[in-house]
Amino acid sequence: MWNGEEVDLDAYFARIGYGGSAAPTLATLSALHRAHTVAIPFENLDVALGRPVPLDVKSIQRKLVGQSRGGYCYEHNTLFAAVVERLGFEVAARGARNRTRGAVLTAVTHALLLVTVEGERWLCDTGFGSQGPLEPVPLRHGAVVEQGGWTFRITSEAEGIHVLSSLRPEGWVGLYSFAPQTLYPADFAVMNHYSSSHPLSKFVGQVVAQRRAPGVRRALVRDELTTVRTDGSSEQVTVPAEELGRVLTEVFGIVLEDDEVVRLGELGPGGSAGA
């Protein structure tokens, strides 16, 4: 299903700095998930530059593994699905509605994974930017896990809906909700088309780069760089266009050509914010 046979495991392991077991166990899954999310940033820069975003495994691997680049949810989770499938895990995809915007009812545009280990399903999501989990989360109502100072919870709602939430100083905040319907690579392609080209997509016309790690989250949206720590402290700074390339490289590990950085800087602080 996920073309795991096309993955260069040695190159992937080197990219994420992983030297552990390849056995299909929960320990392996957790270690791979954490290593992937810490090493490979979330970013939309090809979309911001008006380029297509191919979702075949070889193209994703060339970008996320072979280059100093990241990607957004479809790229991250397609790659991770291919890797864990290659290692012998049972993996399925789901589509989610973003809940970080409060009461706004959003479309199903986020992609995540469920991986089954010894009969238990685990939510795996290497592509939810700085706010996502560092490791798998058990898909059980009421399950609460702490990961690197960040706390997550799974709850259930009517019609089989599951909700992933994050604990903040103000209480539990919903990240996204997802139904039990299984999605396939063809569904990712449709969602990717909207996210990469529709004028209302929040990824079109503006810079987005994010990175999560134990203890700290960093997010660049347009020209605002926000840093949030587990102790509740945060800071926000404005990144001028002439500093964009340096910030992308030093903060997010993303290396672009000079002309690409110039084009991104020309989008300006207003960008083209969508829904």
Q: Is 110 a catalytic residue?
A: yes
| Cβ contact 227:234 at 8 Å | yes
Q: Is 124 a catalytic residue?
A: no
Whose structure tokens read 């320990």? 27
- The DSSP annotation for 74-127 comes to HHHHHHHHHHHHHTT-EEEEEEEEE-TTTT----EEEEEEEEEETTEEEEE-S-
**Coil, strand or helix: which one is 12?**
helix
Tokens describing residue 193? 């088309």
Q: Is 125 a catalytic residue?
A: yes
The catalytic position among 36, 46, 73, 124 is: 73
Q: Is the dihedral of CA 159, 164, 166, 167 positive or negative?
A: positive
- Give the whole-angstrom CA distance, residue 167 versus residue 200: 29
Residue whose C-alpha is closest to residue 97's, from 85, 83, 109, 114: 109
- Give the whole-angstrom CA distance, residue 49 versus residue 70: 14
- The DSSP annotation for 128-139 comes to SGGGS-SS-EE-
The catalytic position among 33, 36, 76, 125 is: 125
The catalytic position among 110, 124, 162, 223 is: 110
Catalytic positions, please?
Answer: 73, 110, 125
